């Protein structure tokens, strides 16, 4: 058995990180495939997150969120749903259980036991360059198709191997036979190199909802700037004497603070970028200038506490609005600016522990900076928390993209809503989406 097996009607091919059904093939990221293999090796058993971290990521230090992302992408690829699972069942506070039928592929021996070998650690995937053509509608994803006989980018037959084989055979075979063996070995090496180059050539594939939405944010090399709102405060501070630490002086300082909802949304973006091994910088809105924003992609976190969010979002169809006295906050549609359906009254919020909040998520190329921009902000605390959850969860992003009209571009913005109880947001709902 070469490792191929079936999960229900899907043929799983770990060596090429592919799954196939009805003649249609999809590719999975190497780590995602390894998670699927581990679950299949322990079908109908509970596999803990600790086991997956130990066997799939080994010595790498990652959080549980990477496992959640992998499970989400497996479910999306196999057409499974978390609320009514047919393939992967979530066991709260324990792990995951593969409940589908697992069997050997038809090409394996019928008498072989249904035991799947562990998948060897594949090379680290290199993000492919995104398609920047104006007509392209699908971003390229990540695909590692290294042939099983190739390791570290070199053919399995090396020059040292050929030299050793040649030396050992000199005393046993005639000169002509030795020359013929060397020629065949070199020809085999050249053939492997040609196959390697052909297989490694870039090709468009079906991207996951997360990699499709985040696009160049996870495929480019330059660091992603996360512009987060800061809150100036005037608080008393204390300085101690370097010679006599017991002696101190009280001074008035102006430290900066960050609200918890903005910090939470920022950490959602940070965790996702880390899972793609992307570099990032975190910078306060008050010290961010236009030149900073022109250097590359920026994630703008926060709304009415982030001046850059308000400036950049003015060009959008859906954008933020407030009454002159700031008592009413809203997201409005430029095609119907008088409609304040997505609004909240700040006075009523202060008197109630239950209300509906709204948020705006937009991914586009800013005409002010000429660079990709992502806006994540809510009218109040609950909206920003919900927006941060939305941009980092595959099922949410799949719902956002599944209704995109044919011919639409890579820019999208969505108005979200969530019911907030005691300051905590509930499930996220999509109120309106605009593609261009």
- Tell me: do 286 and 250 sit in the same domain: yes
How far is it, in rounded angstroms, from Cα 326 to Cα 321?
Answer: 9
Quick one: residue 248, left, alpha or beta (phi over 0 = left, psi -120 to 50 = alpha)?
beta
**67: which 2 tokens?**
């496992």
Q: How does residue 6 score in pLDDT terms, banded at 50, 70 and 90?
A: very high
Q: How far is the C-alpha of 129 from the C-alpha of 108, rounded, in Å?
A: 37
Count of domains forming the chain: 3
- For 179, the domain range is 150-199
Residues 23 and 52 in one domain: yes
Cα 101 to Cα 44: distance, rounded to the nearest angstrom? 9
The string of pLDDT tens digits covering residues 170-201 is 444 455 455 566 666 666 667 766 666 655 55
Claim to verify: residue 226 and residue 166 sit in the same structural domain: no
Instruction: Judge if 243 and 180 occupy the same domain.
Output: no
Per-residue pLDDT of 308-331, as tens digits, reads 999 999 989 999 999 999 899 999
What is the value of pTM for the model shown? 0.52
Asked if residue 188 belongs to a domain, the reply is: yes
Residue 250, pLDDT above cutoff 90:
no
Q: Would the CA dihedral through 52, 53, 57, 58 be positive or negative?
A: negative
Together in a domain, 240 and 378: yes
With respect to residue 375, please indicate whether it lies within any of the assigned structural domains.
yes
Query: Is pLDDT at 354 greater than 50 in this prediction?
Result: yes
366 and 317 within one domain: yes
- Which DSSP string do the residues of 29-83 spell out, in sequence order? -HHHHHHHHHHHHTTTSEEEHHHHIIIIITT----HHHHHHHHHHHHHHHT--SS
pLDDT at 350 over 90: no
- Percent of the chain at pLDDT exceeding 90: 42
Dihedral (CA of 24, 30, 49, 62) sign: negative
**Both structure tokens of 379:** 């009218």
Lowest mean pLDDT of 43-47, 84-88, 346-350, name the range.
346-350
Residue 141 falls within a domain, yes or no? no
Q: Domain of 26: which CATH number? A: 1.10.10.10
- Identify the pLDDT of residue 126: 42
The reply to whether 233 and 366 lie within a common domain is yes
**How high is the mean pLDDT of the chain?**
78
Residue 174 confidence (pLDDT): 52
Spatial neighbors of 55 by CB under 8 A, at least 6 apart, are 34, 38, 118
């Amino acid at each position: 058995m070469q490792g191929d097996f079936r999960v229900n009607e899907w043929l799983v091919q770990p060596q090429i990180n592919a799954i196939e059904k009805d003649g249609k093939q999809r590719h999975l990221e190497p780590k995602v495939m390894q998670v699927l293999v581990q679950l299949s090796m322990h079908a109908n058993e509970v596999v803990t997150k600790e086991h997956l971290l130990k066997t799939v990521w080994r010595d790498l230090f990652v959080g549980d969120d990477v496992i959640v992302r992998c499970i989400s992408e497996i479910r999306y690829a196999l057409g499974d749903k978390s609320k009514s699972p047919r393939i992967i069942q979530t066991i709260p506070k324990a792990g995951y259980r593969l409940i589908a039928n697992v069997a050997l592929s038809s090409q394996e021996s019928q008498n072989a036991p249904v035991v799947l070998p562990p998948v060897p650690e594949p090379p680290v995937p290199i993000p492919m360059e995104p398609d920047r053509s104006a007509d392209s509608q699908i971003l390229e994803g990540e695909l590692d198709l290294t042939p099983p006989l190739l390791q570290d980018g070199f053919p399995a037959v090396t020059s040292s191997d050929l030299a050793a084989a040649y030396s050992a055979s000199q005393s046993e075979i005639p000169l002509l036979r030795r020359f013929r063996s060397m020629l065949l070995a070199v020809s085999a090496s050249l053939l492997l190199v040609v196959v390697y180059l052909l297989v490694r050539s870039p090709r468009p594939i079906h991207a996951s909802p997360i990699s499709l939405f985040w696009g160049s944010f996870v495929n480019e090399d330059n660091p992603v700037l996360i512009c987060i709102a800061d809150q100036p405060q005037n608080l008393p501070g204390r300085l101690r004497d370097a010679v006599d630490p017991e002696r101190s002086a009280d001074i008035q300082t102006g430290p900066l603070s960050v609200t918890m909802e903005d910090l939470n949304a920022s950490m959602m973006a940070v965790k996702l970028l880390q899972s793609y091994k992307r570099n990032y910088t975190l910078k306060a809105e008050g010290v961010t200038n236009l030149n900073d924003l022109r250097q590359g992609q920026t994630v703008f976190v926060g709304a009415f506490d982030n001046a850059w969010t308000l400036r950049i979002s003015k060009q959008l169809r859906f954008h933020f609005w407030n009454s002159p006295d700031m008592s009413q906050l809203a997201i409005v549609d430029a095609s119907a600016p008088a409609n304040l359906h997505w609004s909240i009254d700040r006075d009523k919020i202060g008197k109630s522990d239950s209300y509906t909040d709204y948020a705006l998520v937009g991914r586009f190329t800013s005409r002010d900076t000429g660079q990709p921009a992502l806006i994540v902000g809510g009218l109040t605390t609950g909206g920003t928390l919900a927006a941060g959850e939305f941009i980092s969860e595959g099922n949410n992003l799949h719902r956002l993209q599944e209704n995109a009209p044919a011919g639409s571009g890579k820019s999208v913005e969505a108005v979200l809503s969530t019911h907030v109880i005691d300051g905590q947001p509930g499930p996220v709902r999509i109120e309106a989406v605009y593609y261009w």
